[in-house]
A = this chain, B = another copy of it.
Amino acid sequence: MTLTASVVGASGFAGGELLRLLISHPEFEVVQATSREYENRTVGHVHPNLRELDLRFSDPAELESVDALFAATPHGVSMEHVEEYLDAAGKLIDLSADFRLDSEAAYDQWYDGHSAPQFLSQATYALPELGREGLEDADIVASGGCNATATMLALKPLVDAGMLAPDDQVVADLKVGSSEGGAGGGAASSHPERSGVVRPYAPTGHRHEAEIEEHFGLSLSFTVHAVDMVRGAAATCHTFPTGPGAEGGVETADLWGAYREAYGDEPFVRLVAGGGGVYRYPEPKSVAGTNLAEVGFAADGDRVVAFAAIDNVMKGAAGQAVHGANLAFGLDETAGLNQTGLHPVGSP
Contacts and interface: CB of A to CB of B under 8 A. Distances in A.
A107 interface: no
A253 interface: no
A45 interface: yes
Identical copies of this chain, number: 4
A130 interface: no
A347 interface: yes
A16 to B, nearest CB: 5
Contact of A276 (B45, B232, B299): B45
A188 interface: yes
A78 interface: no
A296 B299 CA distance: 29
A277 B47 CA distance: 10
Interface stretch (A86-94, A177-185, A321-329): A177-185
Interface string A312-348: 0100000000000000000000000010111111111
Interface string A196-240: 111110011100000000000000010101011111101010101
Contact of A346 (B52, B181, B195, B300): B195
Given A198-B284, A270-B52, A346 B348 contact: yes
A1 interface: no
A189 B191 contact: yes
Interface in A37-63: 45-52
A298 B204 contact: yes
A237 B200 CA distance: 12
Interface string A164-191: 0000010101010111010111111111
B343 A16 contact: yes
Classify chain A: how many residues form its interface, as a range: 35 or more
A196 B299 CA distance: 26
B286 A289 contact: no
A173 B236 contact: yes
Interface stretch (A68-76, A97-105, A138-146, A302-310): A302-310
A195 B307 contact: no
A175 to B, nearest CB: 5
Given A20-B342, A48-B279, A189-B192, 10 more contacts: A23-B340, A45-B277, A173-B238, A185-B187, A193-B344, A195-B347, A196-B230, A199-B283, A200-B236, A204-B299
Interface of A: 13, 16-17, 20, 23-24, 45-52, 169, 171, 173, 175, 177-179, 181, 183-200, 203-205, 221, 223, 225, 227-232, 234, 236, 238, 240, 270, 272, 275-286, 288-290, 296, 298-300, 303, 305, 307, 309, 313, 338, 340-348
